[in-house]
Structure 1
Amino acid sequence: MASWNSTELKVLSNVFGWIAFCAWSISFYPQVLLNFKRKSVVGLNFDFVVLNLTKHSSYLIYNASVFFSSAVQRQYHNKYGFNQMLPVAANDVAFSSHAVLLTAFTLFQIAIYDRGTQKVSRITMAIVSAAWIAIAICIIIAIQKHSWLWLVNCFNMLQVFMTVIKYIPQAVMNFRRKSTIGFSIGNILLDLLGGLTNYGQMAVQSIDQHSWVNFYGNIGKTLLSLVSIFFDLLFIVQHYVLYPVKKEISSSEV
């Protein structure tokens, strides 16, 4: 099995990884606290939350499988070489587990707080249903061929797809309302920090191993950060430039 060549780079990689874990994990709380203070979820797009739950659930399955399953690890090394390190670290598993719990709790808040006229769209429900039906088909195929790495990569690509589309409903909602009230910018700032440090961790590992397999061997993690950073920057522009919160609006609504 592969091992680190540099103790310093190993430490730096762990620092980046756990900073990403902390930033991404804490990023869920500003929205949860904002919902609690307002006793309302008006302004938070429900499609975003539902798609986010599917995204994090599939990402958890991928991370846990690669990190814990010897069968998946064996197939990964057979494909990319036994001198390559696994592309999933402990902080990845910890983050995705926490993300599923917090996203599910946000859905619980949607169920109990003032929702106004907002609801989950039929398009989102259709997308989520189709996604899990596709995964069920992949599971049947994988069982027949014992293609466990291929199967977990299906979950990984599902989370990439959900990452790409989950931000769109919120961005469109902000544009239509010409406001970001009800949507926490704290979530976005922490998400941006998590995305940047996640790339830092991957880059450090690649430098140490003199190989970029870490990036294309886990294309889901690579695209996850890239897409997240793009939309985080978009939301920052919406919040601070296009639709800045007026001073007369109370801080409880920001």
Structure 2
Amino acid sequence: MSSWNSISMEILYGVLGWISILCWALASYPQVILNFRRKSVVGLSFDYLILNFTKQSSYLIYNATLFFSTTVQKQYFDKYGYDQMIPVALSDVFFPFHSIILILVVSVQIVFFDRGSQKVSKASIAILVAVWFFAGACFFMALPTHSWLWLVSIFNSIQVFMTFIKYSPQAFLNFTRKSTVGFSIGNIVLDFSGGVATLAQMSVQSVDQGSWVNFLGNIGKPLLALVSIAFDLIFFYQHFVLYHIKASRVSFQRDPESTDSEPLIKDSDHLQGIGTTS
């Protein structure tokens, strides 16, 4: 296994890695807080939530296996060369594990808080069944030859695919409601920061090693960042341009899908950036 050529680059790599993970991890909290303050989950796409659960589960399987399994690491070196570094850090294992916990917390909120007429679509359920059936089939295909690197790479591809489609239901829900109320913009700010930090982290490793193989060897990681950034820009546009609500009008805003007789958010909430996308 290759070692770092520069101690400063190694430190910068670690710092950027934890910055990206902390941003992505903290991105889940504004939504949890918003739901709790409103006692409502109206405005949050349930399809987004369950698709994100599959995405994070696949990402955890890939990162944890490549980080902890010496067998998979050997197969990685056999394929990409022993002069390369494993493109997964401990922070990459922490992020999806933490995200799954937060998803479960929001799921509990959905059970107890006002959810209006929202529900999980049949299309999302069908996608979940198809994805996990495909993953199971790949496991039995890899079993005879012990192609574990190929198998975890499949999970990496699944998480990229799920990242691409998981944001779509939320963007569509914002479009149909002509509002981002109920989906926290704080999530998006942190998510965008995490994506930028991730690309910077991988670039630092490539510069130090004089090779861009780490992008190819863990293609899911840069694709995850790029897809997340692209959708973040869409949510920024929806919130700040398309469906922007002036603070003087927010206190009178009510959600037509909610049975709550109280205003969705107060002026102070809006000024803090609570009550919009992520």
The interval holding the TM-score normalised by the smaller chain is over 0.9
Other-structure match for 1:98 = 98
In 2, Cα distance between equivalents of 1:13 and 1:166 = 28
In 1, Cα distance between equivalents of 2:61 and 2:136 = 13
Moved more, 224-233 or 237-246: 237-246
Give the percent of matched residue pairs that are identical in Structure 1 and Structure 2. Answer: 57
CA radius of gyration, larger in: 2
What's the offset of the Cα at 1:112? 1.5
In 1, Cα distance between equivalents of 2:134 and 2:80 = 26
What's the offset of the Cα at 1:108? 1.6
Other-structure match for 1:122 = 122
Matched, 1:171 2:171: yes
Deviations 1:173-215 (A, max 9, x none): 1111110000000000000000000001000000000000110
The list of structure 1 runs, each at least 4 consecutive aligned residues, that deviate by more than 3 angstroms after superposition, is none
In 1, Cα distance between equivalents of 2:212 and 2:180 = 38
Q: Give secondary structure in 1 for the equivalent of 2:40.
A: coil
Letter matched to residue 80 of structure 1:
Y
Cα pair 1:66 1:73 within 8 Å, conserved: yes
Q: Give secondary structure in 1 for the equivalent of 2:143.
A: helix
Q: How many residues align?
A: 254
What's the offset of the Cα at 1:118? 0.2
In 2, Cα distance between equivalents of 1:49 and 1:111 = 13
Pairing 1:174-213 to 2, within 5 Å after superposition: 174-213=174-213
In 1, Cα distance between equivalents of 2:106 and 2:151 = 29
In 1, Cα distance between equivalents of 2:105 and 2:40 = 14
RMSD: 0.9
Cα pair 1:181 1:245 within 8 Å, conserved: no
Other-structure match for 1:144 = 144
Q: Which runs of 5+ in 2 are unaligned?
A: 251-265
Other-structure match for 2:256 = none
Other-structure match for 1:155 = 155
Q: Give secondary structure in 2 for the equivalent of 1:145.
A: coil
Letter matched to residue 7 of structure 2:
T
Other-structure match for 2:253 = none
Deviations 1:66-107 (A, max 9, x none): 000011000000000001000101110111110111112111
Other-structure match for 2:223 = 223
In 1, Cα distance between equivalents of 2:245 and 2:32 = 20
Matched, 1:135 2:102: no
In 2, Cα distance between equivalents of 1:165 and 1:145 = 32
In 2, Cα distance between equivalents of 1:205 and 1:162 = 26
TM-score, normalising length from structure 1? 0.98
Which structure dedicates a bigger proportion of its chain to helix?
1
Other-structure match for 2:58 = 58
Letter matched to residue 117 of structure 1:
S
In 1, Cα distance between equivalents of 2:29 and 2:17 = 19
Cα pair 1:216 1:222 within 8 Å, conserved: no
In 2, Cα distance between equivalents of 1:70 and 1:146 = 13
Other-structure match for 2:43 = 43
Q: Give secondary structure in 2 for the equivalent of 1:117.
A: coil
Letter matched to residue 127 of structure 1:
I
Matched, 1:233 2:233: yes
In 2, Cα distance between equivalents of 1:114 and 1:138 = 40
In 2, Cα distance between equivalents of 1:4 and 1:245 = 50
TM-score, normalising length from structure 2? 0.90
Pairing 1:70-81 to 2, within 5 Å after superposition: 70-81=70-81
